[in-house]
Amino acid sequence: MVIIMQAGAPEEEVEAVIKAVEKTGFRPWVNPGVERKVIALLGAMDAEKIELVDHFSALPGVERVTLISEPYKLPSRRTHPDPTVVEVGPVSIGGAELAVIAGPCSIESREQMIEAAQAVKESGANLLRGGAFKPRTSPYSFQGLGVAGLQILAEARELTGLPIITEVVHPGDLEIIAKYADIIQVGARNMQNFRLLQEVGQTGKPTMIKRHPGCRVQELLTASEYVMLEGNPNVILCERGITTFEHATRYTFDLSAIPVLKRFSHLPVIADPSHATGDWRYVTAVALAAVAGGADGIMVEVHPDPTVALSDGPQSLRPEKFADLMRSLRQVAAAVGREVRQPVAQ
């Protein structure tokens, strides 16, 4: 941490800051500059000390405080240099084989879910998605089938052998969701629902946290710390687009978040081109790009008939388009030293 004093801050103010630093157990190291003082804190600076930034910032004469260390610890590469591989049944997320999570946005019926599950499996997906509890912007939108949806999803797992991921939106649903899901998803809108993160962490289950479209990469990593601090190291991060001034797409897929996350964290990174673009026409391009840019997998919405979908129809791929995507993805994955599961002969 480095404290930058205002130019010409009086000697008493500099002294007061130095005393405040000493009180916190750090050793102050002050430059002898005449115009303005810079005070570095010597000693091990942990994420636990993050509040000192605010504390010192509020002192008279302080221009600003620069945090040098990262504000998180467990997701950092510095504490864990090797990449984390999250094992989910037979699938290793973060390994050589890409995670390809596919399925409908919402579970709408047994028939729809099973049909989608079989289709994506045939094309080479290795994980199955489906929403049972849906966080919808409008209260008039379909809110999901709830527990009945979970049962259908579990049946789809039985039939295909693919592990399943589904979202939790309320702490009261967590117990039942944890019983069914192989991976618990914390959706973008709950990325900073910190109490939920802690409770999800306590389940010990593999957890995928989606980045809120209005939050920085650093905030995503700090959110993951809430889960990991509960003793749960099985965290997967997901980039799904950020809110910007451009509205040719629903959100702006932040491609460089992938190498940034890879540089600062050891956790696996998944890309969600469906939510990022909001338009099936752009899903394949963004999926291929994400993998070329280093993503450990993709999450794609696939629906047997998007025109009758109860949610996210415009961004859902038909099964045959998804099969095309997978063929192209196999090429791109190979080009960057990764693999995609082969299609299943019917």
Ranges within 54-113 binding its own copies (CB under 8 A):
54-55, 57-60, 63, 66, 68, 71-72, 78
> For residue 253, what are the CA distances in angstroms to 53, 138, 244?
31, 23, 10
Asked if residue 213 binds its own copies (CB under 8 A), the reply is yes
- The span of 82-90, 92-100, 130-138, 158-166 binding its own copies (CB under 8 A) equals 130-138
Asked if residue 269 binds its own copies (CB under 8 A), the reply is no
Cβ 310 vs Cβ 131: under 8 Å:
no
Asked if residue 207 binds its own copies (CB under 8 A), the reply is no
Judged by CB under 8 A, the chain residues 9 through 48 that form the site for its own copies are: 20, 29, 31-33, 35-36, 38, 40, 42-48
Report the Cα–Cα distance between both ends of the chain, in Å, rounded. 60
Asked if residue 147 binds its own copies (CB under 8 A), the reply is no
By CB under 8 A, name the one of 89, 95, 146, 314 that touches its own copies: 314
Distance in Å, CB of 92 to its own copies, minimum: 22
Asked if residue 254 binds its own copies (CB under 8 A), the reply is yes
Residues 292, 297, 302: CA angle, nearest 5 degrees: 110
> For residue 147, what are the CA distances in angstroms to 127, 139, 204?
20, 19, 21
How long a stretch of residues is the chain? 346
Distance in Å, CB of 159 to its own copies, minimum: 26
Closer of 130 and 163 to its own copies (Cβ): 130
Asked if residue 169 binds its own copies (CB under 8 A), the reply is yes
Closer of 25 and 60 to its own copies (Cβ): 60
Count residues near its own copies (CB under 8 A): 113
Residue of 321, 271, 315, 265 lying closest to 293 (CA atoms): 271
Which residue bears the tokens 């993709």?
298
Q: Classify residue 140 by its DSSP letter.
A: T
- The span of 84-92, 112-120, 155-163, 278-286 binding its own copies (CB under 8 A) equals 278-286
Q: Which helix (H) or strand (E) holds 258?
A: helix 257-264
Cβ 207 vs Cβ 230: under 8 Å:
no
Closer of 90 and 140 to its own copies (Cβ): 140
Residue of 209, 200, 103 lying closest to 160 (CA atoms): 103
Rounded-to-integer distance, Cα 177 and Cα 171, Å: 10
Asked if residue 194 binds its own copies (CB under 8 A), the reply is yes
Closer of 30 and 154 to its own copies (Cβ): 30
Residue of 44, 48, 2 lying closest to 222 (CA atoms): 48
Which residue bears the tokens 């997320």?
93
Closer of 79 and 87 to its own copies (Cβ): 79
Closer of 151 and 198 to its own copies (Cβ): 198
Closer of 163 and 304 to its own copies (Cβ): 304
Asked if residue 160 binds its own copies (CB under 8 A), the reply is no
